[in-house]
């Protein structure tokens, strides 16, 4: 396999690199700012990326995308990480919302939703998890009652990232009770400004409130906002999750290499660079990060052949999340007692945030089940 970029891919990489060098925000590390100020700043950054043609790189041009290939998207993701540029605000919309509308939406829906999502005018959130339905999504209880030209939605979602600033929620709700709980679900795009939607932020171990509970009380959702076929929401939800792990996975492979390099710098700075145990640990992380990237190329090959992410994305998510936890833990160890009392030379936040890595976008246990069944072909666990 040839790992080299083609001449046109190299040209694209150089263009992106130069653009990021000039345009990357310089005001990231302000600290102590309000959530609102942070969101506004990230929204403005996404708008700038959009105007330069760097958001929705693989999306069709007629809906505001760049109409380029998957390789350009990967090159762009890598350059963003290498430049340490902040993520655009609409991570969920870009990673999942747009791709699922492109895959299952009607022409009107594509025209209505995609461009404001790209420009960050409208932020999206994902309303899948419920207090009693996380890993087992098919256990969800939120109801969508058919009232002719609209549904009435009642229920609760939880862990909904960005719900506090979102305009649209990708909501999976139960329209009918069927013998198979995966049947009878309907996938709706819910306007978060609708009467009856209440959002309550949840504060994480980091002190940030990235995610929320959402309560739906008699929320009216027009039928024009169904995505896919009524009662067939499971298939639409599965497309969403494949995109979640696929898109996420590739970017994570590069991120792991950067974290390993930063850890090396951290050990040197603290004066632990010649400690043989520290050196061995960092060498091992560096090897694993590289192996992750090589695995990523397999996912790219599958994606280029089939056009949709395959279960290989689960390998990347699983390996990265556990590696990232070990790397951030080591960073705190290397800092010694200082790591406990101050910001651990900048590692305290990443350490605390990494706790969520093995839960979000599928827990490690669930990903192992997926790999066992769909990649290795082992018998189903149940």
Ligand X SMILES: Cc1cc2nc3c(=O)[nH]c(=O)nc-3n(C[C@H](O)[C@H](O)[C@H](O)COP(=O)(O)OP(=O)(O)OC[C@H]3O[C@@H](n4cnc5c(N)ncnc54)[C@H](O)[C@@H]3O)c2cc1C
Catalytic center residues: 244
Binding mask 13-52 for ligand X (x = CB under 6 A): ----------------------------------------
Find the binder of ligand X among 46, 73, 126, 239 (CB under 6 A).
126
What phi, psi does 365 have (nearest 5°)? -65, -45
Burial track 140-166 (b if 16+ CB lie within 10 A, e otherwise): bebbbeeeeebbbbbbbbbbbebbbbb
Pick 64 or 362: Cβ nearer ligand X: 362
Q: Decide: is 359 part of the binding site for ligand X (CB under 6 A).
A: yes
**Cα separation, 294 vs 97, whole angstroms:** 28
Query: Exposed, middle or buried: residue 29 (CB in 10 Å: 0-12, 13-18, 19+)?
Result: exposed
Q: Decide: is 54 part of the binding site for ligand X (CB under 6 A).
A: no
Find the binder of ligand X among 161, 194, 284, 295 (CB under 6 A).
161
Pairing relationship of beta strands 150-157 and 168-174 according to DSSP bridges: unpaired
Which one of 34-42, 216-224, 316-324, 354-362 is the stretch in contact with ligand X (CB under 6 A)?
Answer: 354-362
Find the binder of ligand X among 338, 365, 375, 378 (CB under 6 A).
365
Shortest reach from residue 192's CB to ligand X, in Å: 13
3-state DSSP percent of the chain in helix, strand and coil, to 5: 55, 15, 30
119 within 8 A of 47, measured Cβ to Cβ: yes
Q: Which two tokens stand for residue 55?
A: 């958001």
Shortest reach from residue 189's CB to ligand X, in Å: 14
Find the binder of ligand X among 156, 363, 373, 374 (CB under 6 A).
363
Find the binder of ligand X among 6, 8, 35, 135 (CB under 6 A).
135
Pick 261 or 356: Cβ nearer ligand X: 356
**Cα separation, 105 vs 107, whole angstroms:** 7
Q: Decide: is 254 part of the binding site for ligand X (CB under 6 A).
A: no
Which one of 20-28, 56-64, 129-137, 189-197 is the stretch in contact with ligand X (CB under 6 A)?
Answer: 129-137
221 within 8 A of 181, measured Cβ to Cβ: no
**Cα separation, 79 vs 148, whole angstroms:** 49
Find the binder of ligand X among 52, 220, 261, 356 (CB under 6 A).
356
Find the binder of ligand X among 77, 160, 239, 293 (CB under 6 A).
160
Q: Decide: is 239 part of the binding site for ligand X (CB under 6 A).
A: no
Shortest reach from residue 160's CB to ligand X, in Å: 5
Pick 129 or 286: Cβ nearer ligand X: 129
Q: Decide: is 351 part of the binding site for ligand X (CB under 6 A).
A: no
Shortest reach from residue 120's CB to ligand X, in Å: 17
State which of positions 201-220 bind ligand X (CB under 6 A).
211
**Cα separation, 283 vs 266, whole angstroms:** 14
**Cα separation, 175 vs 352, whole angstroms:** 39
**Cα separation, 244 vs 351, whole angstroms:** 23
Tell me the residue nearest to ligand X as measured from the CB.
134
- Binding-site size for ligand X (CB under 6 A) equals 18
Cβ-Cβ contacts under 8 Å for 125 (sequence gap 6 or more): 92, 160, 161, 162, 163, 166, 168, 169, 170, 192
Residue numbers at the binding site for ligand X (CB under 6 A): 125-129, 134-135, 159-161, 211, 356, 359-360, 363, 365-366, 369
């Amino acid at each position: 396999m040839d790992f080299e970029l083609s001449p046109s891919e190299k040209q694209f990489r150089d263009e992106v690199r130069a653009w990021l060098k000039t345009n990357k925000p310089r005001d990231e590390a302000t600290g102590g700012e309000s959530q609102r100020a942070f969101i506004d700043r990230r929204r403005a950054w996404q708008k700038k990326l959009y105007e330069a043609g760097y958001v929705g790189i693989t999306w069709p041009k007629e809906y505001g995308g760049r109409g380029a290939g998957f390789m350009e998207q990967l090159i762009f993701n890598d350059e963003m990480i290498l430049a340490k540029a902040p993520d655009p605000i609409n991570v969920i919309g870009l990673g999942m919302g747009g791709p699922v509308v492109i895959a299952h939406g009607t022409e009107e829906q594509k025209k209505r939703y995609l461009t404001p999502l790209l420009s960050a005018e409208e932020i999206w959130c994902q309303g899948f998890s419920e207090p009693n339905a996380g890993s087992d999504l098919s256990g969800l209880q939120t109801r969508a009652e058919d009232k002719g030209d609209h549904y009435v939605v009642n229920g609760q979602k939880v862990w909904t990232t960005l719900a506090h600033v979102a305009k649209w929620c990708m909501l999976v709700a139960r329209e009918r009770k069927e013998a198979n709980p995966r049947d009878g679900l309907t996938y709706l795009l819910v306007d978060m400004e609708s009467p009856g939607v209440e959002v309550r932020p949840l504060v994480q171990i980091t002190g940030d409130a990235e995610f929320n509970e959402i309560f739906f009380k008699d929320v009216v959702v027009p039928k024009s906002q169904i995505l896919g076929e009524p009662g067939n929401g499971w298939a639409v939800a599965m497309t969403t999750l494949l995109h979640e792990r696929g898109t996420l996975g590739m970017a994570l492979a590069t991120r792991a290499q950067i974290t390993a390099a930063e850890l090396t710098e951290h050990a040197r700075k603290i004066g632990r660079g010649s400690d043989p145990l520290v050196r061995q640990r960092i060498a091992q992380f560096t090897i694993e990060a590289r192996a992750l990237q090589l695995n990523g190329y397999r996912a790219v090959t599958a994606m280029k052949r089939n056009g949709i992410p395959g279960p290989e994305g689960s390998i990347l998510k699983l390996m990265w999340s556990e590696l990232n936890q070990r790397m951030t833990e080591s960073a705190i160890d290397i800092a010694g007692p200082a790591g406990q009392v101050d910001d651990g030379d900048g590692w305290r936040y990443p350490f605390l945030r990494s706790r969520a890595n093995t839960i979000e976008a599928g827990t490690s246990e669930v990903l192992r089940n997926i790999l066992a069944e769909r990649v290795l072909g082992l018998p189903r666990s149940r």
